[in-house]
Structure 1
């Protein structure tokens, strides 16, 4: 096959370009790296214009770091100025002592169906007494950037109504007593005392028990402090600790002494050592448990409640009591407690609601990773109220008793639409250290877990990022993407990967795993052998830190996906674009967008991604990508469909017929005109040049005029393949559809009688071997001579179908035949050609002649002829004779006897010397038996003859009769002759008388 390659670049009007997110032209927004500006991004549009919302969770450095959200215009010039929305100032929950410092507003941004957006600060807290609870808060913002309301579903009413009874060891062993008084004063100053707040009662004991203060006796802290500072020590020889505890249980927590029904009971015991009634320990403890009394013990060089370290304080002496006041106050509120027999479990107090958020059909899902001792949960907030699941809704204690908790349920949240309803999805990346994803259904207040997807590598953070995608836009979810950004690669680098699960009849099935380009770890910590040391650890990509559904970038009707890898390229970051196809996404990314930052002021590009809006009015979805220290808005380009077509004039070529007027090097040759036509369309419907007719003007001037191209080699058998590669010359405008070819190849066939491929039918007729000729010896009886004369063979072939270009005639013969030449011309249709093959031959001959060309199998039977030629060899001897006598006298009538008794009776002796010189090996040498006049010749041999390479003497008494043979005038003498020897034989002949 012959190839001709054409390459062309087109300039289309309007300009048409190649794929698809323009990473060279766009808008860049800059902020503080320390404020984490760019941690989250959202595209937004209202009546004022189009915006990019950028979260900055640590804005307010270095004092408060409340965080905030910035609005950045996209239609006001190349250097837009971002405006701070001041959301923390306008975010409030009534009737709370709020703690907004470090609230990290802007960590989470999602749009809502009402046209506004939701911004969350998961570190928002509030005070209960002296304690701070981190509940998290989200703020609903209108389309005009006004705060509508704040959502804090984890906020609970402070447990301010506490009935606290202090049981003091007043025996003689406590000294100095004033240290106990100082401890009480400092502790009580941290307790808010009032009718709807806390109440404090005091019981002291030694050998007896005394009620010093009743619960309802004082309604404010100041009045109680006055009483406490004048409290006297009871004294006593024995220490009846469990008598004091039991008396306080039975008498101090009664309605008569001011106890309030339903209010939590707390008992604080201060003792100095072992009790004299420790035998009552189990019974008294059991009764306290039965009455639901929370107990805290303080041992001054002693021992009480040691089994529960959370509720046990051991101090060296009475002076050290002041050091535990803050810790005691914290533990009364069960901060950071763990479940057990002596403490309260930590539920929603540290939930961090709003760590993640997602708008579903039912309402807003808020991830609360800190709920239930950091097991986590997902809160559903709707217009009708807030649904807070129980800890057991996501965790089965029996099934998970061997698995680590603190799994961070709610780290990310999503929902999936199916024909049978909505599936809710949440990730728990720390569950059992490998992570998992929980799929569940929600029916009112009831949760049913339908599926659990588990991670495969410890520490990979599987489930930390989730994204559902309706690829074909039929309103039903097709796939779920699960990020594991800390998945370790083969070199222990955090490469990360993303798992693709296909939704099939309500269940997710693993379909593929996406991975980034491999990152070479060459950091300062592993600098051995590194040629380009990277400054930042950890090394890798953290591919899957952000996953976003982007709305149909290539305009093929399928939604696409963008995945962030913020640690790539020494923490500069990158984003990968994947196209949707057939209810899933293609496993090979179509574009990788590198981070535009320098890795110093701006880094971690790909930390956040959002792409659901057309922000420049061209009808194509644009993509916003955030890092830390900045964010970038990339315009997406239109998609052009470009097609090419080639035609030839003439449509077939005949290499025997030069084109008229086509000259090359002064000779006529075969020329073909190639016509290349292009057609294109642009997918976007908003392009003015395409509206109405769907056509656009291409440059009317020909951009390819006359181009001479030649085949690389002379080939008469195969058709010519002309290939065209095409693209777009401009670097702006639309892009070529990546699913369409950018090349076309068309075959220029040879001129065949029927459809291509051309098929010849060459036959070889019976060989004619001439017996006579003026220039060549006869082949009827071929003699091989020493002078290597040439002979010829006449071969006749005939073609009855398509032209047989480059037809080969193959002649097979023995090794001692030399081929000289052949004469022939092309075989056109119905042409008969006879030609001579000239050959030197000098051995027995068996020849076979055949030909090779493209031909159907059914006509191959006449493609070869066998030739047999009878051969005789020329001896290759030089034979000379010399007779000493010039003449011999023969007497008339002389007779010889019939019986010879000796040589003397034969006649007169004639001496003849024969000389034989060889030119080639011979196998026989014969002597004549008759003279030319047919007289018998008799020989008596003398001298030397050769026999098997050795000389031998003949005796004169031996008489030999020889035979005489003539072949082309040469004598044949029986003798084996070897190269490089001359043989001289002298024959003595006597005339015989008749």
Structure 2
């Protein structure tokens, strides 16, 4: 029975999950999920119900609390909540949360509308929740307290903070609005205070704190056995298959450094990672697989690496994956030698695509997207394959959105390069942009080589005035320039129209004065620039060379500049042909 593999990177509390489903999509079963060692966390929301907030703000407070609870519902965290003002109210306990009663009780909670007795509220929370097994608290659990308030405490600290420290309670403070003396709130937070205090202008700003606070909760200091490397891994964020193996991107692993997993069946995945990447690199954001002979290759995009973006090549060595090489986004240098990345928001490596052979070398090529480059207009980069290193270290072409249309945005958001849409024998590349898809048609690649020969094979001395008194010019030899043209790609007649080749012939190129020339009436015409049409695989052209005085040694060379109306890429030998006689 045919099956499809479905990734759910936000499943299993954002650690990610992989499912296998029948083609009819009516029956899915769990295939893989990263193993996370869970230790229980007791977390209490202590939220302000003073008269300084409006009823709508009180409702936003409750919604924010439940958004966090909902997001983290499949984790090892158990929640409770207390409203505080002049008096205190247990909104729901840990036991209520486990029994499914928390939402109903939170919705029914009424706004107290009185003073802000914060320290007494902490004392109430310690006695009635953290230190009370009847509330469902686990004495061995890691403890956390989230305080949401729009004002400074109206009371003073007796020993509440010291008791929290003794119990190793991580304390996060959210200060809302204009608070006169924020230093008083600093005393409520646990260390590091600069990371555990959040300031927002109004209660609307709570939504923007959701992800940040969630990450801080997962990183609670003292969470015994907590594997923060996997808890937010989002395994399956990207995926590619290699025979019977799945390669999964896990951008959130290891403090968002990111990594990949090689998964076979439901077994625990083998890690594929680059130890040199910084945190927040998002490695595994995109992934493609390939092969060089029997060797498996994996390309992984890390679009936030060093604020530039990076693509890393991994090669499987026996039973271990190793990072072999990487390519990075471009950088610009501004004033005062401050390096600012052209791809700082370009997200180089955000998308990757294995592209069918573009230049006819029988190797697969790679396309890399940077959809936020050039002020979010976007660009893609083409890297040609290489036998030894997988791909060449320098891109062969950068295609900027602005070179196609000024209206394009997020060009490179998606890439695919395996189809021949034009049925011309050449691969076409589909590139996604905001609201549109563009099809880039590739062109055939040809190789051109040039060969010089001459006749006669010997020059007669009878016509020369050896004393140098004659000013007459004589045709001494005929240069024969022959070109061979071979198409590297396998297009269907795309180069039949021929190529226009612009060439420069130089005589006696190494001497300062001229002894041979190409125009009889012009002694200084030691170079000849012309263009010829190559409309077959082998083309030859003749040019006459003149002299006044005989010299026993002359040097000729040809420099080629190839152009044609189709803008075809051309491969020209690196060493220009040279003839000496």
Instruction: Report the TM-score when normalising by structure 2.
Output: 0.52
Cross-structure match for 1:739: 573
Cross-structure match for 2:155: 273
Count of matched residue pairs:
494
Cross-structure match for 1:486: 331
Task: Label 1:610 to 1:493 Cα distance change in 2 as closer, same or farther (>3 A).
Answer: farther
Counterpart Cα distance in 2 of 1:151 and 1:365? 15
- Please state how far the C-alpha of 1:384 moved relative to its aligned partner: 2.5
Map 1:569-968; keep pairs closer than 5 Å. 580=386, 597=403, 600-602=406-408, 611=417, 614-622=420-428, 631-640=438-447, 644=451, 646=453, 648-649=455-456, 651-656=457-462, 681-683=486-488, 709-715=544-550, 717-718=551-552, 731-732=565-566, 737-739=571-573, 745=579, 747=581
SS at match of 1:600: coil
Counterpart Cα distance in 2 of 1:404 and 1:725? 48
Counterpart Cα distance in 2 of 1:382 and 1:572? 33
Q: What per-residue deviation string (whole Å, max 9, x for no partner) do you get for residues 617-671 of structure 1?
A: 555555556666653413231425556464535x32323289xxxxxxxx99887
- Please state how far the C-alpha of 1:484 moved relative to its aligned partner: 3.5
- Please state how far the C-alpha of 1:363 moved relative to its aligned partner: 1.6
Counterpart Cα distance in 1 of 2:4 and 2:479? 60
Task: Label 1:646 to 1:313 Cα distance change in 2 as closer, same or farther (>3 A).
Answer: closer
SS at match of 2:126: helix
Q: What per-residue deviation string (whole Å, max 9, x for no partner) do you get for residues 296-339 of structure 1?
A: 8999999897143688999xxxxxxx979979x96998564474
Counterpart Cα distance in 1 of 2:449 and 2:437? 37
Counterpart Cα distance in 1 of 2:206 and 2:340? 45
Cross-structure match for 1:555: 360
Task: Label 1:582 to 1:655 Cα distance change in 2 as closer, same or farther (>3 A).
Answer: farther
Counterpart Cα distance in 1 of 2:538 and 2:300? 60
Larger Rg: 1
Counterpart Cα distance in 2 of 1:212 and 1:678? 87
Task: Label 1:600 to 1:152 Cα distance change in 2 as closer, same or farther (>3 A).
Answer: farther
Cross-structure match for 1:752: none
The higher relative CO (CA closer than 8 Å, separation ≥ 6) is in 1
In the alignment, does 2:256 pair up with 1:375? yes
Counterpart Cα distance in 1 of 2:103 and 2:345? 61
Task: Label 1:645 to 1:117 Cα distance change in 2 as closer, same or farther (>3 A).
Answer: farther
Counterpart Cα distance in 1 of 2:475 and 2:554? 13
Q: What per-residue deviation string (whole Å, max 9, x for no partner) do you get for residues 843-880 of structure 1?
A: xxxxxxxxxxxxxxxxxxxxxxxxxxxxxxxxxxxxxx
Task: Label 1:367 to 1:151 Cα distance change in 2 as closer, same or farther (>3 A).
Answer: farther
User: CA contact under 8 A between 2:259 and 2:274: conserved in structure 1?
Assistant: no
User: CA contact under 8 A between 2:369 and 2:381: conserved in structure 1?
Assistant: yes
Cross-structure match for 2:126: 245
User: CA contact under 8 A between 2:238 and 2:284: conserved in structure 1?
Assistant: yes
- Please state how far the C-alpha of 1:482 moved relative to its aligned partner: 1.7
Cross-structure match for 1:364: 247
SS at match of 1:245: helix
Task: Label 1:215 to 1:428 Cα distance change in 2 as closer, same or farther (>3 A).
Answer: closer
User: CA contact under 8 A between 2:301 and 2:312: conserved in structure 1?
Assistant: yes
When the two chains are superposed, the root-mean-square deviation of aligned CA atoms in Å is 7.6
User: CA contact under 8 A between 1:135 and 1:352: conserved in structure 2?
Assistant: yes
User: CA contact under 8 A between 1:494 and 1:539: conserved in structure 2?
Assistant: no
- Please state how far the C-alpha of 1:490 moved relative to its aligned partner: 8.1
In the alignment, does 2:298 pair up with 1:464? no
Task: Label 1:260 to 1:377 Cα distance change in 2 as closer, same or farther (>3 A).
Answer: same
User: CA contact under 8 A between 2:283 and 2:300: conserved in structure 1?
Assistant: yes
Counterpart Cα distance in 2 of 1:630 and 1:723? 47
Q: What per-residue deviation string (whole Å, max 9, x for no partner) do you get for residues 543-570 of structure 1?
A: 9888876555443456666677986899
Map 1:409-420; keep pairs closer than 5 Å. 409-410=283-284
Cross-structure match for 1:938: none
User: CA contact under 8 A between 2:452 and 2:577: conserved in structure 1?
Assistant: no
User: CA contact under 8 A between 2:31 and 2:266: conserved in structure 1?
Assistant: no
Counterpart Cα distance in 2 of 1:360 and 1:486? 34
| Structure number with higher helix proportion | 2
User: CA contact under 8 A between 1:623 and 1:636: conserved in structure 2?
Assistant: no
Counterpart Cα distance in 1 of 2:33 and 2:461? 88
Task: Label 1:272 to 1:388 Cα distance change in 2 as closer, same or farther (>3 A).
Answer: farther
**Aligned partner of 2:265 among 384, 395, 402:** 384
User: CA contact under 8 A between 1:135 and 1:152: conserved in structure 2?
Assistant: no
Structure 1 gaps, min length 5:
1-113, 234-238, 315-321, 436-458, 471-475, 497-536, 659-666, 691-696, 748-994
User: CA contact under 8 A between 1:610 and 1:623: conserved in structure 2?
Assistant: yes
Q: What per-residue deviation string (whole Å, max 9, x for no partner) do you get for residues 689-733 of structure 1?
A: 99xxxxxx977999969x7x3504332x43666767788886459
- Please state how far the C-alpha of 1:166 moved relative to its aligned partner: 9.1
Instruction: Report the TM-score when normalising by structure 1.
Output: 0.35
Counterpart Cα distance in 1 of 2:369 and 2:32? 31
Cross-structure match for 2:529: none
- Decide which moves more: 588-597 or 222-231: 222-231
- Please state how far the C-alpha of 1:597 moved relative to its aligned partner: 3.6
- Please state how far the C-alpha of 1:738 moved relative to its aligned partner: 2.0
Task: Label 1:421 to 1:262 Cα distance change in 2 as closer, same or farther (>3 A).
Answer: farther
User: CA contact under 8 A between 1:242 and 1:284: conserved in structure 2?
Assistant: no
Counterpart Cα distance in 2 of 1:386 and 1:141? 18
Map 1:279-298; keep pairs closer than 5 Å. 282=162, 286=166, 288-289=167-168
Structure 2 gaps, min length 5:
115-119, 465-471, 496-533
Counterpart Cα distance in 2 of 1:418 and 1:253? 61
